[in-house]
Chain A
Amino acid sequence: GENVEQHPSTLSVQEGDSAVIKCTYSDSASNYFPWYKQELGKGPQLIIDIRSNVGEKKDQRIAVTLNKTAKHFSLHITETQPEDSAVYFCAASKGRGSTLGRLYFGRGTQLTVWP
């Protein structure tokens, strides 16, 4: 099966700085890569996703990049704010309807943004 590794496990930044979280995956057939944000005591919420036919996607202060050759993808948060503090999970999948199309999750990154 797929193996998704996520780094770092914890990340502390000053408000206004950028934060980068990196994930690698093992199966070159994976083609869908979502990112989730989980606040304390709540369920994860999708914040951005990318498919293998694009290399980068942006949504306001959040961006995700994908390098299919190296099999890694990254989450970039610019101008961080205290409310960005949460656990972030990356995931990988072989895609829609595939008989092997389950999501494989990384172990999460605890992001803390200090005011």
Chain B
Amino acid sequence: DGGITQSPKYLFRKEGQNVTLSCEQNLNHDAMYWYRQDPGQGLRLIYYSQIVNDFQKGDIAEGYSVSREKKESFPLTVTSAQKNPTAFYLCASSIVRGETQYFGPGTRLLVL
């Protein structure tokens, strides 16, 4: 069963804490992406990666960090520097950059 998985489904962050969102794909896609979605808004690009060990900032990268050590995995860390982290986070992948993107089920991050 191929696809993109994200975990956890819900995540709670305490003030000053870093949290990491998991994204795994078994589609053999080279490119992976992270988006943030706020109520009533579209998808805003946080980071993307075209290939292993390479990643680029998107439109709203401040307060976030990523790594791409394996083709299948693209974890996103929400750092304490991100002052308004409450949002729905979506991971996506595509066979190469610019092609059709396929999305995971999302992680909802809430601040305690």
**Closest residue on chain A to residue B44 by CB atoms:** A105
User: B1 to chain A: which residues have CB within 8 Å?
Assistant: none
Is the beta-carbon distance between A98 and B97 smaller than 8 angstroms? Answer: yes
Is the beta-carbon distance between B102 and A46 smaller than 8 angstroms? Answer: yes
**With A89-B42, A107-B42, A108-B42 as contacts: A102 and B98 at CB distance below 8 Å:** yes
Of B40, B42, B90, B96, which one neighbours A43 at CB under 8 angstroms?
B90
User: A41 to chain B: which residues have CB within 8 Å?
Assistant: 106, 108
Interface of A is mostly: loop
Task: Report the separation of the CA atoms of residues A42 and B40 in the bound assembly, to the nearest whole angstrom.
Answer: 14
Of B45, B92, B96, which one neighbours A97 at CB under 8 angstroms?
B96
**Closest residue on chain B to residue A4 by CB atoms:** B42
Of A34, A45, A89, A102, which one neighbours B97 at CB under 8 angstroms?
A102
Of A44, A98, A106, A107, which one neighbours B103 at CB under 8 angstroms?
A44
User: B100 to chain A: which residues have CB within 8 Å?
Assistant: 34, 46, 49
Task: Report the separation of the CA atoms of residues A100 and B56 in the bound assembly, to the nearest whole angstrom.
Answer: 12
Task: Report the separation of the CA atoms of residues A67 and B82 in the bound assembly, to the nearest whole angstrom.
Answer: 41
- Chain B's nearest CB lies how many Å from the CB of A101? 2
User: B6 to chain A: which residues have CB within 8 Å?
Assistant: 43
- Chain B's nearest CB lies how many Å from the CB of A9? 8
Contact digits for A73-115, partner B, Cβ 8 Å, 1 yes 0 no: 0000000000000000100011111101111011110000000
Is the beta-carbon distance between A102 and B106 smaller than 8 angstroms? Answer: no
- Chain A's nearest CB lies how many Å from the CB of B76? 14
Of A6, A103, A107, which one neighbours B101 at CB under 8 angstroms?
A103
**Closest residue on chain B to residue A98 by CB atoms:** B98
Is the beta-carbon distance between A102 and B45 smaller than 8 angstroms? Answer: yes
**Contact residues of B between 40 and 76, Cβ < 8 Å to A:** 40-43, 45, 48, 58
Q: Can you list 19 A-B contacts with CB-CB less than 8 angstroms, sorted by A residue number?
A: A6-B42, A34-B101, A36-B103, A41-B106, A42-B105, A43-B103, A44-B43, A46-B102, A89-B42, A96-B96, A97-B99, A101-B97, A101-B98, A102-B98, A105-B42, A106-B42, A107-B41, A108-B41, A108-B42
